[in-house]
Every structure is written in structure tokens, then in C-alpha cells.
Amino acid sequence: MATINQQTVKNRDNARIAGIQKHCMTQASILVGGVAYTPAQAIQIYQNDLDAAAAVAQARSAYKAALAKAKATEATTVTFDSAFKHCIEGAYAGEPATLDDFGVTVKGYTAPSVTTKAAAVAKAAATRALHSATGTNPGLTIPATPSSTAQPAPVTTPATPAIAGK
């Protein structure tokens, strides 16, 4: 069986119409599936199918054009909205009710909990232990905190030469 696509249906409908016009116009009726149709009615059935297919093609073309326009305007709107949101946030930073009128919600900062901090410290200690045991120089350790015994280098000032001869 042949593949039925839009072009195949269009060719079939046109061929049926041409065949009816050439061979069946002198007949009073055409018996199809137990129902009698006049040649004009049979032609109209195929013509309705052609008209519907043409309407679908036109609607599809209009849809594609509208979709392309929507994508273009959306790209412009996203760029504008990002800049506009920053302007609103700057202008009304201390006024959450006004920001809410614009649909902007400011997310507050949530400090990490004590358990989260403790877990981070434990994980860092485990990482240092692992690296000191398996690194390129095993035995060397990564200091956890700066050494408190380290002395800063003494600051020396260059001696000012005396101006001779005055």
C-alpha cells in the first residue's frame, strides 16, 4: 500500500474529480456503499477534502509565522525584563510591598546552621587527612589554620644618605 501523505491525498482527490467529470456526468446517480450520490455530490465530497487541506496548510503557515514572531518578541522581552527588574530592585530596595506590586520577590539570606557548619569542618578535616596520606608528597600536611607561631618579617627602612657639601 502506498504512503498516504498530503500530496497523495490531493492527487487522489483531483484524479477522482477529473474521472467523475469525464465519465460519470451523464449518469443520474452513482451508487457508493449502498447510497446513491449525484455526480455533483461526489465531486463536492472530494472538493470539500481539497478545501479543508488547503485551509490546514494556510493555518499551518500562519501558525509558523506567528510562532516565529512570538519567539522574536520573547527574546526581546527577556532581555528588557532582566534589566527592568534590576532597575526596580535598585529603586525600591527597602520597600517589599512596592516590589511585590511589580511581582518581584526579594530572597533573604539564610545563614547556615550550626550542624551544617560542623559537617563542613569535619568534611574539610577528612579531606586534609586523605590528601596528606595519598597525595604526591605523602606525609606533608595541609595546615588547617595559619600558624600562630610564625613571626612577621621585620620591617627595615633604608638609611637616608646625608647630603654633603652645604
pLDDT band at 65 (very low <50, low <70, confident <90, very high): very high
| Residue 89, domain extent | 6-101
Chain segment 104-157, per-residue pLDDT in tens: 887 777 888 999 999 999 999 888 888 776 666 655 555 555 555 556 566 666
Sequence-ordered list of residues with C-beta below 8 angstroms from that of 112, at least 6 positions apart, any chain: 120
Q: Is residue 22 part of a domain?
A: yes
Q: Is residue 147 part of a domain?
A: no
Q: Is residue 144 part of a domain?
A: no
pLDDT for residue 109 = 74
Number of folded domains that form the chain: 1
From residue 98, how far is each of 54, 82, 89, 90 by CA, in Å? 52, 18, 10, 12
Among 59-63, 95-99, 130-134, 162-166, the range of highest mean pLDDT: 59-63
More confident residue, 3 or 139: 3
Among 3-7, 41-45, 146-150, the range of highest mean pLDDT: 41-45
Q: Tell me: pLDDT of 4 over 90.
A: no
Q: Is residue 66 part of a domain?
A: yes
Q: Is residue 28 part of a domain?
A: yes
pLDDT band at 160 (very low <50, low <70, confident <90, very high): low
Q: Is residue 109 part of a domain?
A: no
Q: Is residue 41 part of a domain?
A: yes
Q: How far apart are CA 12 and CA 51, in angstroms?
A: 14
